[in-house]
Structure 1
Amino acid sequence: MTLSLILAAAAAGTAVPASGPLVTLVAGEGASQCLPDRSLCLEVPPTEDGDTTGAVLRVASSGSAPVSLTLPEFAEAQSIELWPRLIRAGGEGGANRYLFGILTGQTSMYSGGGGSASQLHLIELDTAAGTARLGEEALEVPWSGSLLIRACFSEADMKDRLEACHDSYDFGATLVAAPLGKAIFPTLSYRAVATAFPRTSRRSNDNSEGKLKRADLVRARDPACTYDRVLRYNPATSRYDMDQPAPDCSDYTTP
């Protein structure tokens, strides 16, 4: 019943309770982001010239000296930033264990348009015993996408499309955590929403065929890429498993 309520809250966009395992970080000293009680602060300093190789996580926790931990290399990442939330562990051995998030991004420009996308990576962080250590990556999921693609190349196109001369595609995701159970990390609810404008447009189709109607000039959800999944932590692999495979939504998540 509790998990059903959490999933319902995710679908409705309800905020996560502050007392739950998913915590919103607050501004700390400089560019750091911290737990509300300031017992743990994290920062991912900008990399030089957009080179994400060698990016680090700076960790400052109560009772230990600040450290800089080298982050894993993220393939094709053009930008890296800290996700402004943290997931607490629970159960036996869960004290001082967390999942922090890294958002990796890519952008692409092309004639008459462009796009951007990001992915969320959850990585284990252990701050016990007076030191901080990185663990395994527990999850990677598409997080956001926004694309604008030119669709008019002549006056006839402008007329046929009622002067709506760009197709646009957007993708956004959210995570909600259920209360901690027996697993070291909580069950998560992942919701993805994809929209297209005009409502008939699909990036993988030839949208120049046919004429648009006034009723088409609205932004509408793409049901194929609007979905919910339940993620459960698997201690045998140190990763989250989806309850069923996610659809291929690269039309929205690859710029």
Structure 2
Amino acid sequence: MFLLLAAFLAAAAPSPDFETLEPVPAATQGEAIPACTADRRWCALIETDETQERQVLRLYDGTPDGRAPAASHLIDNGASEGFWKPGVILRRAGSDDVILGADMELQAMYSGGGGMSSYRTLVRFTPGETPQEILTVPMSGSLMIRACFGEEDMKQRAGACHDEYEFAAELKAEGDAFPPRLTYASTAATFPGRVSRDEDSLAKPPLKPEDLVKAVDAECTVQRVFTFDRAAKAYVADAPLPDCSAYTVP
């Protein structure tokens, strides 16, 4: 009976999950806007440091309201076309040990097209310790590359004058441990049919109406499990992630 009760309680216990951080109004106009959990227990803010070249991720125990941050962490600014924003938070019940996710969004313009992509970096904040970056993974990508440069090209492409690349991923927490096990699942597809940024689309045979469909990219449609390696102080995947840079902005 005891074993059955224990199993029932374990199944009924909620699994940890990432909470979406929502922006809250700044105290004064022009201030950076913090993002907080629904209960305002934790808030995060990303600000440019005194050099005006780097960005700092600040974690607050409660809303900022003029108080000093509980912890701060310098984050890579990446490309000038990119910007960071606080994304999600994961907390250990009854503890100030939290994992904060910051999302970097990149945008780029191409001749007759453009694209955007995003990456998520997880930073662990533990009282008395230096914050640690523990994982960075791509989360989304959407690109359009021009493929028509005249009427003949339009005929050859059956009116589909852009190569399109779509990538989307989910990151979820599982189990009772902290940091928890993470599952990562991505999907990727191209249109029209299977196209590649390494090939000249106009060098291929003319497209037919039946070719105007999305093609799933099996190599970049994957599932991975990340576990926290205490020696490395970072997450490690059960298998390497494939190179899916065709779907992202560099």
Hey, what's the Cα distance between the residues in 2 that align with 1:19 and 1:241? 20
- Which residue of 1 is the match for residue 24 of structure 2? 28
Hey, what's the Cα distance between the residues in 2 that align with 1:225 and 1:240? 20
SS in 2 for 1:224: helix
How many Å apart are 1:236 and its aligned residue? 0.6
**AA in 2 matched with 1:120:** R
How many Å apart are 1:197 and its aligned residue? 1.0
Alignment TM-score, normalising by the size of structure 1:
0.78
Q: Deviations over 1:14-44 (max 9, x none)?
A: xxx9862422224434332222221111122
From 181, 188, 191, the equivalent of 1:194 is: 188
Structure 1, unaligned runs of 5 or more? 1-16
1:46-195 to structure 2, matched below 5 A, reads 47=48, 53-62=53-62, 65-67=67-69, 69-76=72-79, 78-89=81-92, 95-126=95-126, 128=127, 134-181=130-177, 184-195=178-189
Hey, what's the Cα distance between the residues in 2 that align with 1:62 and 1:164? 51
TM-aligned CA distance change 1:105 to 1:23, over 3 Å: closer
Q: Is the 8 A contact 2:72 2:131 kept in 1?
A: no
SS in 1 for 2:188: strand
- Which residue of 1 is the match for residue 225 of structure 2? 230
Hey, what's the Cα distance between the residues in 2 that align with 1:57 and 1:75? 14
How many Å apart are 1:88 and its aligned residue? 2.0
Q: Deviations over 1:143-176 (max 9, x none)?
A: 2212111111232211111111111111111101
Moved over 4 A (4+): none
Higher relative contact order (CA 8 A, sep 6+): 1
Hey, what's the Cα distance between the residues in 2 that align with 1:203 and 1:147? 10
Hey, what's the Cα distance between the residues in 2 that align with 1:246 and 1:123? 20
How many Å apart are 1:74 and its aligned residue? 3.9
1:197-212 to structure 2, matched below 5 A, reads 197-208=191-202, 209-212=204-207
Hey, what's the Cα distance between the residues in 1 that align with 2:88 and 2:74? 17
**AA in 2 matched with 1:158:** M
Hey, what's the Cα distance between the residues in 1 that align with 2:86 and 2:238? 24
SS in 1 for 2:201: coil
Instruction: Indicate whether 1:244 and 2:218 are aligned.
Output: no
Q: Is the 8 A contact 1:52 1:80 kept in 2?
A: no
TM-aligned CA distance change 1:88 to 1:221, over 3 Å: same
Instruction: Tell me the percent identity.
Output: 36
Alignment TM-score, normalising by the size of structure 2:
0.80
Of 206-215 and 65-74, more deviation after overlay is shown by 65-74
Q: Deviations over 1:177-212 (max 9, x none)?
A: 10223xx30000011111111123222222221111
Question: Over alpha carbons, which structure has the higher Rg?
Answer: 2
SS in 2 for 1:251: helix
SS in 2 for 1:215: helix
Hey, what's the Cα distance between the residues in 1 that align with 2:140 and 2:172? 16
How many Å apart are 1:62 and its aligned residue? 4.5
Structure 2, unaligned runs of 5 or more? 1-12, 27-32
CA RMSD of superposed structures (Å): 2.8
TM-aligned CA distance change 1:150 to 1:27, over 3 Å: closer
